[in-house]
Amino acid sequence: MLKDDHRAVEQLFRRYTRAGDRAFVEKRAIVDRFIEELSVHAAIEEQLFYPAVRATVPDAEALGLESLEEHHVVKWVLSEIDGMTPEDERFDAKVTVLISNVRHHVEVEEGELFPIVRKELGPRALSDLGEAMARARRIAPTHPHPRAPDSPPGNLIVGTAAGVVDRMADTLNGLAQGAVTAIGDVIATALRREKPRVSPRGTRMARSTATQVRSGASEATEAAIEATRKAKEASDRAARTARATGSSAKAGAQRTVRAANRGATNTARATKAGAKGTVTSARRSARRTATTAKRGATTTGRTARKAATGTTQTARRAARETASAAGSPR
């Protein structure tokens, strides 16, 4: 599955390099696709693949850490590209640097890391890992979050909550501002830091939606932290049992992956429930605002029509009076 992702991203890179210099719309569409592909791919590797590698293949520790740093650099560049327009003179340059970084990273993963992992984990643990990654893909973040933690348990909490918030912002444009603030909160809550002081901007509707998204995401994060704590306990128990029974590293890895899988499902369920509430209330508030605006518009329209009719009649009357004063009847 990871190799399929690499192929899909490479196709998009080729399409980008073939696009004309001024093909801004096409370039934006291609970039949006690889931002999503790479964000999801990096998140599932960081949540499941790299922890499994570190736990079971001690020889790959240094290579794994180097790969995480490469992810970090890629996510920074992606986050900058995400906020730029293709007309910007730095856009092509950033995409070119990104492409060469990703190609190098993929070469190391496929050429060095994957073969070691395949050999060490064996087919059963590999298939468990693949299944866990397929589930994690459905809730992974769709945008890059370079400030978020990239190893467990922090990345499980932030990644899952960020995934839900990203998807809310992707589907409901008006929620974008709240989502940006919410991601900052999610990271702060997961790391037990003070939340950033940000006041929503824009219309009353935008401000209230942003506040609702922020508080909904905050509740969802607390639920995610609790679910992840439970998953971590289960995973620690599994590792202890594996050690106590003298089971092989492979069996230990299988249990850890299964526990992480269960944890990810619980976390996602808790986060989704929180997010669903937020989206519903945001939609309700949007509907209310739309109805009020419509009513306002109808009243304004009626008043304007009445005023216009009045003005026309007055103007006609004045014209008639002027005409008769001038002695030429109309």
Site for Fe ion, rule CB under 5 A: 45, 109
Neighbours of 161 (CB within 10 A): 35
CB of 150 to Fe ion, least distance (A): 11
261 with 235: CB under 8 angstroms? no
Cα–Cα distance, 296 to 86 (Å, whole number): 39
185 with 157: CB under 8 angstroms? no
CB of 296 to Fe ion, least distance (A): 52
User: In 3D, which of 16, 51, 35 has the Cα closest to residue 231?
Assistant: 51
CB of 67 to Fe ion, least distance (A): 6
Q: Which is nearer to Fe ion, 109 or 166 (CB)?
A: 109
Q: Which is nearer to Fe ion, 109 or 120 (CB)?
A: 109
CB of 3 to Fe ion, least distance (A): 8
Helices 24-44 and 154-171, packing angle to 10 deg = 150
CB of 253 to Fe ion, least distance (A): 19
Q: What is the CA radius of gyration of the chain?
A: 28
Q: Which is nearer to Fe ion, 5 or 185 (CB)?
A: 5
Q: Which is nearer to Fe ion, 109 or 185 (CB)?
A: 109
Q: Which is nearer to Fe ion, 36 or 45 (CB)?
A: 45
CB of 31 to Fe ion, least distance (A): 19
Q: Where are the alpha helices (DSSP H) in the chain?
A: 2-18, 24-44, 50-56, 61-82, 91-108, 114-137, 154-171, 176-190, 204-244, 249-325
User: In 3D, which of 308, 157, 314, 133 has the Cα closest to residue 232?
Assistant: 157
DSSP-derived letter for residue 196 is P
Q: Which is nearer to Fe ion, 45 or 150 (CB)?
A: 45
